[in-house]
A and B are shown apart, each in its own frame.
Chain A
Amino acid sequence: MLGVEQVGARWRSGTDRAQVQVHDKVRVADGVVTLTLAAPDGGRLPDWTPGAHVDLTLDNGLTRQYSLCGDRWDAYSYRVGVLLEPAGRGGSSYVHEQLAPGHVVGLGGPRNHFPLVPAGSYLFVAGGIGITPILPMIAQADLLGAEWRLLYGGRTRGSMAFLDELSAHGDRVQVRPQDEHGLLDLAGFLGHPRPDTPVYACGPGPLLTAMERACAGWPARALRTERFVAAEQGAPVRAGAFDVELRRSGRTVTVAPDTSVLEALSAVGVEVLSSCRQGTCGTCETTVLAGVPDHRDSLLDDDERAAGDCMYPCVSRSCSDRLVLDL
């Protein structure tokens, strides 16, 4: 039983949430590890919903997106699954080879572009590591008493993560390694189009393209997909200090690596109204006049991030040497 004061102390500690610490790293299939992440101070992590991902900024400067695949009723840890991609640009090999329990990595989000919409029944299709966002979705579908089935494909049985967890669901889950069954029988799995059944698919590009074809006869918006690409942010994230220029008051503040923009501003007497200090409530929204923000909030979508015209200084930082804010 946890005491309530364990979550109560965080208002004192301010904004350390933009980092998480690796608590555990487990190999769960050929080429797949799961990481268990926790707040360095042991406090609550930001809330999330099934389908959400976090951005992790690794020591080697790369930012990678990983779907959360743990239990949201545990507010103190996140779980992500990471596939080793030898052809990738170093994010996954860094996680597999270098990252170890105790290491601290930068955190952005969680954000959710792949939310589970309310329905009485669902169909899920996962390819390979694309199983990760689907895991909390099926847990949720169960909680809601919805009907669901999952078709899960992979190269070989040994490469497919979480088979033991999935076995609890019996024949609602069809496990179809390619070396045993050949290509996934999408048409057979989907059956006739059903207007009230959303179809969620996550996996490599070719699978999603095949899904689009297979769902051609389904109502518009029935198919909801997330392409599993290790997206890299445009500008590399800065590890060091940066300057924030306040256009209206004509001042410049240096933000050290271990403080947030909000704290740095407050330290020189510039108060920006804030509330959650987690990048979730939107209260501290600030207009960016120049420079490239390093967005860590849960609010902006990719287009809004790319526009770069506003930021949430409680968590977000800077990719450029200098940010100019309308303050």
Chain B
Amino acid sequence: MTLAPSPVADVPVDDTDPFSHEVLEDPLPFHTALREAGPVVYLSRYDVHAVGRYEQVRAALVDWQRFQSAAGVGLSNFRTEEPWRPPSLLLEADPPRHDAPRRVLTSVLGQRALRTLRERWTADAEQLVDQVLAAGTEFDAVPALAEAFPLRVFPDAVGIGRDGREHLLPYGDHAFNAFGPPNDLVQKGEHRVAQLSGWVGEQCAREALTGDGFGAAIWAAADRGEITPQQAPLVVRSLLTAGVDTTVHAISAILYGFATHPDQWARLVADPSLARVAFDEAIRWESPVQTFFRTTTTDVRIGSTVVPEGRKVLMFLAAANRDPRRWTEPDRYDLGRDPSGHVGFGMGLHQCVGQHVARLEAEAVLTALARRVRTIELAGPTRRHHNNTLRAWETLPVRLTVG
């Protein structure tokens, strides 16, 4: 047997499988090794380069000219492989095709557009928290809060029908698995993917959407010619793919953060205006979206390594968000820190267009909890949910005291 020549000289090589169950269960040691190995590392298992330090991750994120998305933001290279579904018009597009859909979503999901939702979501969160607490103060926070709240408000905000909403989480879970290699996590979703995709596709049609949601606003933009009528359903699909699992896992990340850092919960209770910081600090600390790929459009030098044109580069947002070169005591969940500049929502042209929606949801839940709950602690063994892209909880048993 001969070893394949390394594609580039002078680059640290790591043969770890970052998508193995072992790493997905606890990615932190691998992230540390990646950062320490150098500004860029060659992952021999998948024949890709990887960046884990804040500086390089951020630089690759903003540099859409040389790190493109249209060849896919997963391992699969759309230049040579068929995507599993028609590519996203936002996430998997480059300028100039990215421009119009992005402009439309930026306005549909902008902070100003969300002002009308704030009051409603705050009331919804209070109702949910009251219901949950009425049923008991010891429960699994994943279904009871982290899943319940986004599923209560987000599908209504998009404007999809009531039937079939149970497909949303499995669809998102599969879509985020599909950015990784075709491993068992992808295989387990494959038997349902046609059914799930079919359902999601139906929800994106104009007739399927209520008249007052994000979906209708996207169709209205198509009526104004800002996007084409062919693009509108795919733009709606972006919301249904990217807007549910992400916020669910983000809310469990915050609850886990507080359950394991009781002093920080006391801080939030004393000053509920910290809710915004608490959320972004949780995004930094847990990074619900762990990774995305790019493809080089030219030879790019990273450190002293030249990554040739046309190669996949795996960006570890999660590793960057705990890079000690950028953050002091990165492993602490700390409301006293300014988490600004974390890359948990990405950065630059593709930075999460739904981030204000996610913040508003989280703020509503946290504010409602902080009003009633004095302490949060873990009440039993937690279990991770493995996904090739997302860092998630399957179970998060918590015990609360109400004051």
Known A-B contacts A273-B277, A275-B347, A282-B356; the reply to A1 vs B298 at CB < 8 A is yes
Q: Which residues of B contact A276 (CB under 8 A)?
A: 347-348, 351
Verify B110–A282 contact, CB threshold 8 A. yes
Q: Which residues of A contact B60 (CB under 8 A)?
A: 4
Residue A221, interface by CB 8 Å: yes
Q: Which residues of A contact B345 (CB under 8 A)?
A: 275
Residue B79, interface by CB 8 Å: no
Known A-B contacts A3-B301, A4-B301, A11-B341; the reply to A271 vs B277 at CB < 8 A is yes
Residue B55, interface by CB 8 Å: yes
Known A-B contacts A75-B63, A274-B341, A299-B110; the reply to A118 vs B100 at CB < 8 A is yes
Chain B 331-352 near chain A by CB (<8 Å), digits 1 or 0 = 0000000111110010111010
Verify A304–B112 contact, CB threshold 8 A. yes
Q: Which residues of A contact B97 (CB under 8 A)?
A: 118, 144
Q: Which residue of A lies closest to B306 (CB)?
A: A1
Complex interface: stretch among B29-37, B220-228, B250-258, B393-401:
B220-228
A180 to chain B, nearest CB (A): 34
Verify A274–B55 contact, CB threshold 8 A. no
Verify B59–A7 contact, CB threshold 8 A. yes
Chain A 159-178 near chain B by CB (<8 Å), digits 1 or 0 = 00000000000000000000
A283 to chain B, nearest CB (A): 7
Residue A198, interface by CB 8 Å: yes
Q: Which residues of A contact B348 (CB under 8 A)?
A: 47, 276
Q: Which residues of B contact A112 (CB under 8 A)?
A: 103
Verify A5–B56 contact, CB threshold 8 A. yes
A185 to B188, CA, bound (A): 64
B53 to chain A, nearest CB (A): 9
Residue A235, interface by CB 8 Å: no
Residue A229, interface by CB 8 Å: no
A115 to B224, CA, bound (A): 13
Known A-B contacts A44-B62, A221-B225, A266-B338; the reply to A49 vs B351 at CB < 8 A is no
Verify A75–B341 contact, CB threshold 8 A. no
Secondary structure call for the B interface:
loop
Which residue from A4, A118, A143 sits with its C-beta under 8 Å from B302? Answer: A4
Q: Which residues in window 49-66 of B have CB below 8 A to A? A: 54-56, 58-60, 62-66
Q: Which residues of A contact B299 (CB under 8 A)?
A: 1
Chain B 225-241 near chain A by CB (<8 Å), digits 1 or 0 = 11110010000000000
B180 to chain A, nearest CB (A): 24
Verify B225–A198 contact, CB threshold 8 A. yes
Verify B340–A4 contact, CB threshold 8 A. no
Residue B245, interface by CB 8 Å: no
Q: Which residues of A contact B280 (CB under 8 A)?
A: 273
Which residue from B39, B301, B339 sits with its C-beta under 8 Å from A1? Answer: B301
Residue A201, interface by CB 8 Å: no
A2 to B110, CA, bound (A): 34
Chain A 112-131 near chain B by CB (<8 Å), digits 1 or 0 = 10011111000000000000
Q: Which residue of A lies closest to B348 (CB)?
A: A47
Q: Which residues in window 148-168 of A have CB below 8 A to B? A: none
Q: Which residues of A contact B340 (CB under 8 A)?
A: 271, 273-275, 277, 283
Residue A285, interface by CB 8 Å: yes
Known A-B contacts A7-B63, A144-B96, A299-B110; the reply to A273 vs B339 at CB < 8 A is yes
Residue B148, interface by CB 8 Å: no
Verify B226–A275 contact, CB threshold 8 A. no
Verify B341–A275 contact, CB threshold 8 A. yes
Which residue from B301, B326, B351, B356 sits with its C-beta under 8 Å from A2? Answer: B301
A7 to B340, CA, bound (A): 18
Known A-B contacts A1-B301, A44-B62, A282-B356; the reply to A8 vs B56 at CB < 8 A is yes
Chain A 254-284 near chain B by CB (<8 Å), digits 1 or 0 = 0000000000001000010111110001110
A95 to B59, CA, bound (A): 34
A134 to B338, CA, bound (A): 42
Chain B 97-132 near chain A by CB (<8 Å), digits 1 or 0 = 101100100000011100000000000000000000
A89 to B96, CA, bound (A): 36
Q: Which residues in window 20-71 of A have CB below 8 A to B? A: 44, 47, 49-50
Residue B261, interface by CB 8 Å: no
Q: Which residues of B contact A75 (CB under 8 A)?
A: 63, 65
Verify A47–B63 contact, CB threshold 8 A. no
Which residue from B64, B99, B276 sits with its C-beta under 8 Å from A49? Answer: B99
Q: Among A7, A9, A73, find the residue whose CB has the most chain B CB atoms closer than 10 A.
A: A7
Known A-B contacts A4-B300, A8-B55, A299-B110; the reply to A118 vs B227 at CB < 8 A is yes
Give the interface of A toward B (CB within 8 A). Answer: 1-5, 7-9, 11, 44, 47, 49-50, 72-73, 75, 112, 115-119, 140, 143-144, 198, 221, 266, 271, 273-277, 281-283, 285, 299, 304
User: Can you sample 24 A-B contacts with CB below 8 Å?
Assistant: A1-B298, A1-B299, A1-B306, A2-B300, A4-B301, A4-B302, A5-B56, A7-B59, A8-B59, A44-B62, A44-B63, A50-B96, A117-B225, A118-B231, A140-B96, A143-B96, A144-B96, A144-B97, A198-B225, A275-B340, A275-B355, A276-B351, A282-B111, A304-B112
Give the interface of B toward A (CB within 8 A). Answer: 39, 54-56, 58-60, 62-66, 95-97, 99-100, 103, 110-112, 224-228, 231, 276-277, 280, 298-303, 306, 326, 338-342, 345, 347-349, 351, 355-356
